[in-house]
Chains A and B, each alone.
Chain A
């Protein structure tokens, strides 16, 4: 796993720099955790008024929320380096990446890891733990497997979205904000049951951008619920497939993006 060691070496430089400002790191980490926990607190508040929303109880929605948050935050963490991608393109530092005997994507990804984002991951895991405790599910090996698979697939799905957002930068410098709808908007969307949205949103989040497979469908499986919208039961376990499909699109998009860069320069 030579690449892995190389990744840690490259990223290590950045990470050590962040840890030097210990107080700042702790504060922003905590701030990140708190900011996102507030969203859950608001949810809990809503449930003080009604026992169920769209047929879901608080802890059932909490499970949805936690799966979405944890996957998203972990992906956001790993994809830290992609935030600045449009700057790298604009400044021409991507050229240097191309002159080195390593994969371009690997080099770009190894440039940063924002440790403060672990705060959001911790928040997600915390709510997940709470939800599982309160739900007293009947655990089977399949369900345990599904939980793990859902998280991994979720990370892959969100990571692919971040990659696609960065690939966008090969063509335009200004469009970055627009992609936030799919990443930050996407996670908020699937923190709640897809039942509350209109039809085309559910279809979009299932068949076009498979965000539903991050939280909604795995949760249906864990809760032994059929899809209220009539989709067949076996669809609930398709998360890994959805993740692979989107990852494929992202990978292909990256290659097209690099080829475009090599045709047009910066």
Chain B
């Protein structure tokens, strides 16, 4: 772990104990006292090291363990074993300190206040994150310009389109100058124009402010356009950690990125099974 490493995990593991109800009415009663418990290994010994200023994409099928890993990095979940460190701190131990320096955008759930105008959400966040007034005004001006928020900044969030809401969420996540930004499926459901806006914004952010970005996505063009580094997680394991070009080198480089990915999955899952 070098001085510059900002996100670090070592043998990160997460096991969920899921209780199943026994069938029938009597079974339901029995389940209260003696449930059937399945152990699900969601994350199985993941080792990641991300340096400050990197833009990393995290891919993998649904249920692969990507979200669980992110949740452990953001302090939502506690690891079953292994280490997760952000800014040299363990997120679940120093939750608030880590939270102050990170931003999160969940693609499907907004952090904005639903019934209030967008502007009010920003205002509330200013107090929650204790942002000095001048810094707040400065960031608001920049984001409003880059993300073109002016047209809808006074509209209640529930009336915004998905693209507008996503832009709002991005601004909201960055108002307090976080050093790390986690994005969970940020371009899902957006039209081409909106996707482009979001991507250029993220590039600008990374370039100008050195914000480290970790982004989970299913969208291959997100990966191609934004990220220099690729992490592939499947069945809780890190299958690949490197550049896009190098991955292409692993498979026959024909066809689109999609084809490349599919081939990669097939090849590595075969290797895993063997």
Contact = CB atoms under 8 A, between A and B. Distances in A.
Main secondary structure of the interface of B (DSSP, over half): mixed
Interface in A72-99: 91-93, 95-96, 98-99
Contact of B76 (A10, A95, A102): A95
Interface string B82-112: 0000000000100111011010101001010
Interface residues of B, number: 29
Interface in A1-35: 5-6, 9-10, 13, 17
Contacts of A5: 127
Select the residue from A93, A99, A259 with max chain B CB neighbours within 10 A. A99
Given A17-B115, A93-B109, A265-B77, A98 B124 contact: no
A262 B78 contact: yes
Interface string B42-81: 0000000000000000000000000010010011111000
Given A9-B124, A95-B76, A263-B78, A102 B17 contact: no
Contacts of B104: 96, 99
B129 A262 contact: no
Nearest to B116: A13
A226 B68 CA distance: 60
B99 A101 contact: yes
Contact of B16 (A9, A99, A100, A264): A264
Contacts of B130: 101
A265 B127 contact: no
24 contacts: A6-B127, A10-B124, A13-B124, A17-B115, A95-B76, A95-B106, A95-B109, A96-B104, A96-B109, A98-B95, A99-B74, A99-B76, A100-B99, A101-B96, A101-B97, A101-B99, A101-B129, A101-B130, A102-B96, A103-B96, A262-B75, A263-B77, A265-B71, A265-B76
The 9 closest A-B pairs by CB, nearest first: A101-B100, A101-B99, A262-B78, A101-B96, A98-B76, A99-B104, A95-B76, A99-B74, A6-B127
Interface of B: 16-17, 68, 71, 74-78, 92, 95-97, 99-100, 102, 104, 106, 109, 111, 113, 115-116, 120, 124, 127-130
Given A6-B128, A101-B100, A101-B130, 10 more contacts: A13-B113, A13-B116, A98-B74, A98-B75, A98-B95, A99-B99, A99-B102, A99-B104, A100-B129, A101-B128
